Structure 1
Amino acid sequence: MAMAGLRTIIILSFILAIGFLLVILSSALYKNFLPLLVVATYVLAPIPNWICGRWSTSDDFMDSGSGGGGVVELGRFFTGFLVVMGVALPVVLAHCDLIRIEAMVMSIIGGLLIYGTIISFGLFFHQEEEF
């Protein structure tokens, strides 16, 4: 079982490296740093979900039944906003002729690989707390 976990970590790390390589190449090949902004949005995207998830954890003794759904939904909204911004930002930059279409495609694919890997790492290491 430990070997399967190690294999998963190695595969996810390889995919993350490919995502970063695509985003860096989209900047380096066309001598424009603007596609690197996508990395910031995809790295920051899971943070609102994580913060709001921690905020809304309920105590077993003081459970009111609501579970903090409003806070969790707010975190999902901000996460969704950042993910959509990570895709839309290169499209807008390419539309304004600030970056090339090839850089836009490489930046979007690389950004989605980065975000997908971050989410996969989170799901892989997520543990249910049982008492």
Structure 2
Amino acid sequence: MAGVKTIIVLSFILAIGFILVILSSALYHNYLTLLVVATYVLAPVPNWICSKAQNNDDFMDSGSSSVVELGRFLTGFFVVMGIALPVVLAHTEQIRIEAMVMSIVGGLLIYSTIISFTMFFREQEEF
């Protein structure tokens, strides 16, 4: 059971992630690294939509559904894009290497906090 301390710690980590991404753009006067925030905010959306669209039938449970697998694939795509986008921008010299590192670390903190929130506050199904 998650309590108030869990919420405070996860909120603090989320704030650090956002601060790192914002500083990566503000310190080096290039705001392309803010695109990472969009990818990490959009990353859990396909998983959430596809899990709601899944047909929950107790009698015909075949293990996995193609809709759920599509949601996991799109979520993985967004997470990899959130890491690869700053690397590509740094490789093409659109942003500095320091901004790339700060953006990747901040983005990973943001996404890991989102995953932790969903793990700690998942509702248990009753049968």
TM-score (norm 1): 0.92
TM-score (norm 2): 0.95
| Structure 1 unmatched ranges of 5 or more | none
Q: How does 1:60-99 map to 2 (within 5 A)?
A: 60=58, 63-66=59-62, 69-99=65-95
Deviates more, 1:92-101 or 1:49-58: 49-58
2:7 is aligned with 1:9: yes
- Rounded to whole Å, the distance in 2 between the matches of 1:67 and 1:44 is 26
Deviates more, 1:63-72 or 1:100-109: 63-72
2:115 is aligned with 1:123: no
Quote the RMSD (CA, aligned, Å): 1.3
For residue 128 of structure 1, report the CA deviation from its aligned partner.
1.5
Between the aligned residues of both structures, percent identity stands at 74
For residue 71 of structure 1, report the CA deviation from its aligned partner.
0.9
| Structure 2 unmatched ranges of 5 or more | none
- Rounded to whole Å, the distance in 1 between the matches of 2:55 and 2:34 is 34
- Rounded to whole Å, the distance in 1 between the matches of 2:30 and 2:61 is 51
- Runs of 4+ with deviation above 6 angstroms: none
- Rounded to whole Å, the distance in 1 between the matches of 2:41 and 2:55 is 23
Asked if 2 retains the 8 angstrom alpha-carbon contact of 1:53 and 1:72, the reply is yes
Matched residue SS, 2:78: helix
For residue 57 of structure 1, report the CA deviation from its aligned partner.
4.2
Give the length in aligned residue pairs: 127
Q: Which of these residues, 12, 29, 37, is aligned with residue 35 of structure 2? A: 37
Deviates more, 1:66-75 or 1:79-88: 66-75
